[in-house]
Amino acid sequence: MDLTFTPEEEAFRHEVRSFFRENLPDDLREKVRGNRPLAKEDYERWQAILHEKGWLAASWPERYGGPGWTATERHIVAEEMALAYAPRLVAFGLNMLGPVLIKFGSEEQKKTILPRILDGSDWWCQGYSEPGAGSDLANLKTTATRDGDDYIINGQKTWTTLGQHADKIFCLVRTDPEAAKPQEGISFILVDLETPGIEMRPIRTIDGGYEVNEVFFTDVRVPAANLVGEENAGWTIAKYLLTHERTNIAGVGFAARDLSALKELAARSFRNGKPLSEDPLFMAELMRTEIDLEAMRITNLRVLAESESGAAGGPESSMLKIKGTVILQKLNSLTRQALGAAAAPFPADALPPNLLTVAPENASAAATYFNNRKLSIFGGSNEIQRNIIAKDLFGK
């Protein structure tokens, strides 16, 4: 196992860094640096730039429009994108549905849907969680009943992230209520959000923002051709998709970027006449977090090295999800601690930069802290991830 980058990989990193420096619009960079809300147009503008370069769908094979990168090259791009303060790519089409269709979809689905994800024609959202089925996803109640050439869907989804921007939603639905095991009666189906019978309602989050929704389905008629894979085989697809989602959640590059910013903040923040960077208790917490981040980075590189050699993936995505979310939450907490009273929440966007009481990049520190409480819950709670790891280590 070699955890060092080759000269060719270092040259690739230099190329990627130069491209981001020259092509990422300054206004988008500053929005991300200040943790300000991004509009749909902001996401679409950055993804169009990457699509024109051929770098948008990092994990897709070349024949479907991917760049043909190795796992290590994908890691380098993700890390450099975070360090450049570029908008985070919307994962639902690119990193969730895309890989699912490439592995399980029909040729017609690949032909018609994948190009529309790449050129931004369609914005997808995820219909997994329900009021009674979040971490216990197999308990979902939304039904899809076959009626001729259609399915008729009834039920409710919740925590649908950025659904207010979406044109389409991919859903897990129950197609066999009598199955011996709950997991055996679930299917994966694609739904156009313009279909009659669908209502989307916003959910306000604790930080005052709006990024999640609940979606109601009442006698929604969907063509049977929208089924992905086989009927009642959706659980396998669901697990495949969640593996991609959890690895994406880890965010090694984002944590490295936030750690660097926190060190700078500690150096210019004062407590009792001394820089916070000289406070032994604060710095002990910061250094402990940095050690955890370095351990996660090495684990990530180890997973990359093993995948390059053809080894099958294991519970590593669960490990990365747990550590990545815990580290990001710790960095958010330390940032609030460093800011002290200046971290008090207020609507940062309501004030022009010259009226802010803290630097623009720290104006929404409290909102970020509160919003990121969700990280240890979504994508499968960290408690569930620990169960997955335990089963792998100790047997079922």
Cβ atoms 205, 212 nearer than 8 A: yes
Going by C-alpha positions, the residue among 258, 254, 383 that lies closest to residue 318 is 383
- For β-strands 270-271 and 274-275, DSSP reports them as antiparallel
Residue 358: C-alpha distances to residues 64, 196, 345, 352 (Å): 46, 47, 12, 12
State the distance between the two ends of the chain, measured CA to CA, in whole angstroms: 29
What CA–CA distance (Å, rounded) separates 325 from 217? 32
Let me know how long the chain is.
396
Beta bridge partners of 145: 152
Between CA 290 and CA 259 the distance in angstroms is 7
Pairing of strands 210-223, 150-157: antiparallel
245 catalytically annotated: yes
Q: Are 23 and 49 in contact (CB under 8 A)?
A: yes
309 to each of 158, 312, 341, how far by Cα in Å?
A: 39, 9, 50
Pair 89, 38: CB distance under 8 Å:
no
Considering 79, 80, 214, 245, which one is annotated as catalytic? 245
Q: Helix count (H) and strand count (E) of the chain?
A: 13, 10
- Close Cβ partners of 241 (under 8 Å, ≥ 6 residues apart): 96, 97, 99, 100
Which sequence positions are flagged as catalytic?
Answer: 245
